[in-house]
Structure 1
Amino acid sequence: MYAISLGDDGAELRPLEPWHAEEFLAHLDRGRQFVQQYISFGATATDAASAREILQSYADKKAADTGSLHGVWLDGKLVGGLLFRIFDAERGNCELGCWLEPAAAGRGLVTRGARVLIDWAVDERGMHRVEWYAASVNEPSVNVARRLGMTREGVLRERYPYRGVRQDTEVWAVLAEEWRAARARADR
């Protein structure tokens, strides 16, 4: 389908589809403890069938135009991904999220991939608002929102229980007009 270069380091953004189940499972196995800190599917994909089920659920969302899953590959190896957990074209709102295995952290892969997806959502699909939710203790995710120029809109205190602890969730967002203006400033 597509492979979008994320820079000179061999990183690419590609669709992550059901036929990637074995590769997806191997990727999760490499970083399961790290991924599971904040992402629940790290715990639910335990074999090829359950990995395929997760990927199929996002293929179904893609077909319904309500979400999508995109893998980040580094030198041909799946190391993480980005997803539109929610994609509401009618209302012009979407929620972008991410995960990454530890060996790929600190390279800007998520930020670069998110920029590609936000550009697409805003320019091609007419999204008005792109949201980013992160557990307050998930500093890498919060830092991605900052690097993307999103505005922290608030904290949903003890929003959901995860792994036995009620997590505070930060809500970050960028509006299409803000995204375009920031991109124009960067292009100068």
Structure 2
Amino acid sequence: MFAISLGDEAELRPLEPWQAEEFVAHMDRARDLVDRHIMLARAAADLASARALLTSYAEKQAADSGRLYGIRLGSTLVGGVLFRVFDAKAGNCEVGCWLEPAATGRGLVTRAARVLIDWAVEKRGIHRVEWQVSTANEPSIKVARRLGMTREGVLRENYLFDGVRRDTEVWSVLAPEWREQKAADAV
């Protein structure tokens, strides 16, 4: 299995079905924070559902339609990033993230998302990378800004979450913008 250093003793690694027990333990630590904005922790409520979620992403990876990676601090799984949607033929993908409380404020999601976006743009020829986020999720909105994404608008009351209609902000970065930003950062 590969690992990509994110600095500060953090690594990015694939998450696979055989890691379901570790994943559900991580989700138990992350549940209160993650469940405020997305249903990922609910989708991994126990060992069987965690294995099913990880298996669904293994199948997405095999079909080249999504991928799931864990963020580790030392040997501990503390969060992750994913291609929720990946369509190489159309040149579009959507990146998402989550993190448990003990790992917040370190820039881990931003660094991990940069790895995914760079791979998508430079290795797979993705033209448009999207970031969809609840309007109430300020930390995730800040990540989109740090990634140099452009806020395109708000999908008003587009999803039902805990019985309440919620808004979603749509952010994106296009391949030429990503490359321009990388070049400017290298100077």
Q: Which residue of 2 aligns with 1:117?
A: 116
Q: CA deviation at 1:44?
A: 2.4
Uncovered stretches (5+) of structure 1, i.e. residues with no partner: none
Q: Which residue of 2 aligns with 1:59?
A: 58
2:31 & 2:58 partners in 1: Cα distance?
22
Q: Which residue of 1 aligns with 2:75?
A: 76
Q: Which residue of 1 aligns with 2:138?
A: 139
Q: Which residue of 1 aligns with 2:90?
A: 91
Amino acid at match of 1:155: V
Amino acid at match of 1:169: T
Alpha-carbon deviations, 1:72-112, whole Å to 9, x = none?
A: 00011000000100000000000000000011011000000
What is the DSSP-based 3-state SS (H/G/I as helix, E as strand, rest coil) of the residue aligned with 2:94? strand
Alpha-carbon deviations, 1:33-57, whole Å to 9, x = none?
A: 1111112121121211110000000
Q: Which residue of 2 aligns with 1:151?
A: 150
Amino acid at match of 2:89: E
2:30 & 2:120 partners in 1: Cα distance?
29
Uncovered stretches (5+) of structure 2, i.e. residues with no partner: none
TM-score (structure 2 length as normaliser): 0.99
Q: CA deviation at 1:125?
A: 0.2
2:93 & 2:127 partners in 1: Cα distance?
9
2:163 & 2:141 partners in 1: Cα distance?
22
The alignment status of 1:6 with 2:1, answered yes or no, reads no
2:89 & 2:130 partners in 1: Cα distance?
16
Q: Which runs of 4+ in 1 moved over 4 A?
A: none
What is the DSSP-based 3-state SS (H/G/I as helix, E as strand, rest coil) of the residue aligned with 1:174? strand
Q: CA deviation at 1:147?
A: 0.3
Amino acid at match of 2:79: G
Amino acid at match of 2:68: L
TM-score (structure 1 length as normaliser): 0.98
Q: CA deviation at 1:10?
A: 0.6
Q: Matches of residues 161-172 of structure 1 in structure 2 within 5 Å? A: 161-172=160-171
Which one is further off, 38-47 or 120-129? Answer: 38-47
Alpha-carbon deviations, 1:134-184, whole Å to 9, x = none?
A: 000100010000000000000001111101111110000000000000000
Q: Which residue of 2 aligns with 1:30?
A: 29
Aligned length: 187
2:90 & 2:118 partners in 1: Cα distance?
17
Give % identity: 67
